[in-house]
Structure 1
Amino acid sequence: MSAQLPVFPLGTVLFPGLVLPLHIFEERYRELVRHLVSLPEGTPREFGVVAIRRGWEVLPPAGPAGGTPASGGVTLHEVGCTAELRQVTELADGRFDIVTVGRRRFRIAGVDEQSTPYLRARVEWLPEPTGSEDVADLLAPRVLAVFRQYLGLIRRGPEEIAEQLPEDPTVLSHLVAATAALTVEDRQRLLAAPDTARRLRAELRLLNREAALLRQVRAVPVPLAELAVAASPN
């Protein structure tokens, strides 16, 4: 089943269940926020976040997506995740600070460049099957164990890794993908994984790779604060 969805190109990858704060200053995206806020109560207030494959972090006013170069040389990935609007703060000059939460994955099937100042896309919703349930259930504890070891390598003290981590395979797969110090390309491949089992299997390889590098160089590649999702300008 397909649907029409406003699209917000960003230099990051959003996953279901993860928080994404944004600072909205460009007029076309202010209009998007005003549109979402004006929707009737009970209507999903969500837009699509799509990572930029190549080019500027903000698209020009019009341009195609889904792997086709846009004006200015911007190219978008085809798989994204919707961001559900949870909190809106309007500033005195008309800008917005918003807090969103990732909700559901989609694939771009076509782009509407004309009807609104911001991009709209025809999207196809992607299910989130576990794959082989037995395989996902077997992989989840292994990924959780390696993830804890990885956190122990990048965090300074045991108190920083004492938080409860999810045991549900799908939730765990999204959390690991969003919080490990991976490239946008790695994260995008994980987002596009067809099921939880394959995402967990890929994460096991990535975490083992990253942990081995950390043990070898005895250094953290980026400050811990940079691993969190920061407020992104539009």
Structure 2
Amino acid sequence: MMNAADLPDTIPVFPLPGALLLPRARLPLHIFEPRYLSMIDDTLKTSHRLIGMIQPYEVPGSKEKRLHSIGCAGRLTQFSETEDGRYMITLAGMSRFRMQEEVTGFTPYRRCDVKWDGFNADLGPTEVDKGFDREAFLDLLGRYFDHMTLSTDWDSLKEADDELLINSLSMLCPFVPEEKQALLEAPSLTTRRETMVTLLEFSLRANAEEDRMQ
């Protein structure tokens, strides 16, 4: 287990819209762009093997793209190379970070100076959501999945612990990037679950209103 003293001040970042990584969760990625292949090669040479997943966003009124201030770093734990030179990797979520500034240099990928303050719980034990009404949540989720024509292994969802269930759904559900960012920035598992419930209910209400207007 990594501790706060092991976390570097500068990390490579992968700005991928809609790709959410959370602490203690796993994110598989397919890497094929040359600049990110270079990023993986360089990351494998480090002791920490950390890559920061962060959401880009477009500045209103222009085409300029910036990075959100908060992302989540994952440790490269699985790596394989295809015959045509692409990489299949898995990042294990370690801790969220707050971006300070981008680092200029000679790498083809982006790097940032980061701060880890305020996210100490990310390196701690699994979180528990003490107010979690699983039955009501799964009922709401079932209606959302029907609306979105999604399928899942309901038995696995019923058996998963609180953190695995909520974080996995946060990462996998087809929320827009800004909604994914809100889930990332939730300060606790309980507030993440509350945020997700709000997003699910909003989607269902919007669908009901569309049906009424047709």
TM-score by length of 1: 0.68
How many angstroms apart in 1 are the aligned matches of 2:16 and 2:77? 19
1:36 matched to which residue of 2?
43
AA paired with 2:16?
L
Matched, 1:8 2:1: no
- 8 Å CA contact 2:37–2:87 kept in 1: the answer is no
- Kindly indicate whether residue 47 of structure 2 is the aligned counterpart of residue 47 of structure 1: no
Aligned to 1:122: 113
Letter aligned with residue 42 of structure 2: H
> 2:100 touches 2:115 (CA, 8 Å); kept in 1?
yes
Change (3 A) 1:12 1:76: same
Q: 1:90 to 1:181 in 2, by over 3 A?
A: closer
Q: Secondary structure at the match of 2:132?
A: helix
State the AA in 2 paired with 1:6. Answer: P
Residue 9 of structure 2 contacts residue 114 of structure 2 at CA under 8 Å; is this kept in 1? yes
Letter in 1 for 2:91: V
Counterpart position of 2:88: 98
Alignment match, 2:187: 194
| Partner residue in 2 for 1:108 | 99
Letter in 2 for 1:143: F
CA displacement, residues 190-227 of structure 1 (integer Å, 9 cap, x when unaligned): 10111222111111111122234445667xxxxxxxxx
Larger relative contact order (Cα-Cα within 8 Å, sequence gap ≥ 6): 1
Q: What is the deviation of 1:167?
A: 4.5
Instruction: State whether structure 2 residue 95 is matched by structure 1 residue 89.
Output: no
Root-mean-square deviation (CA, aligned residues, Å) is 3.1
For 1:210, the equivalent position in structure 2 comes to: 203
CA drift at 1:164: 0.6
Three-state SS of the structure 1 residue aligned to 2:19 is: coil
Structure 2: segments with no counterpart, 5+ residues: none
Contact 1:79 1:108 in 2 (8 A): yes
Q: CA 1:201 to 1:185, structure 2 compared with 1: closer, same or farther past 3 Å?
A: same
Q: Percent identity?
A: 22
Q: Which residue of 1 aligns with 2:66?
A: 75
Alpha carbons 2:17, 2:56 under 8 Å: kept: yes
State the AA in 1 paired with 2:166: S
Gaps of at least 5 residues in structure 1 are 56-68, 219-234
How far does residue 182 in structure 1 lie from its aligned partner after superposition? Answer: 1.3
Distance between the aligned counterparts of 1:143 and 1:210, measured in 2? 15
Q: Does 1:25 align with 2:19?
A: no
On the 8 A contact 2:18/2:176 being kept in 1, the answer is no
In the superposition, the TM-score normalised over structure 2's length comes to 0.73
Q: Secondary structure at the match of 2:115?
A: strand
Cα–Cα, structure 1 residues 185 and 92, in superposed 2: closer, same or farther, change >3 Å? Answer: same
How far residue 77 of structure 1 moved from its aligned partner, in angstroms, is 0.8
The aligned length equals 193
CA distance, structure 1, for counterparts of residue 83 and residue 168 of structure 2: 35
Q: Does the CA contact (< 8 Å) of 2:131 and 2:190 recur in 1?
A: no
CA separation of 1:137 and 1:149: change in aligned 2, threshold 3 A: farther
1:131-142 matched pairs, under 5 angstroms: 136-139=129-132, 141=134, 142=136
The letter of the residue matching 2:54 is V
Alignment of 1:133-172 (within 5 A): 136-139=129-132, 141=134, 142-155=136-149, 160-165=152-157, 167-172=160-165
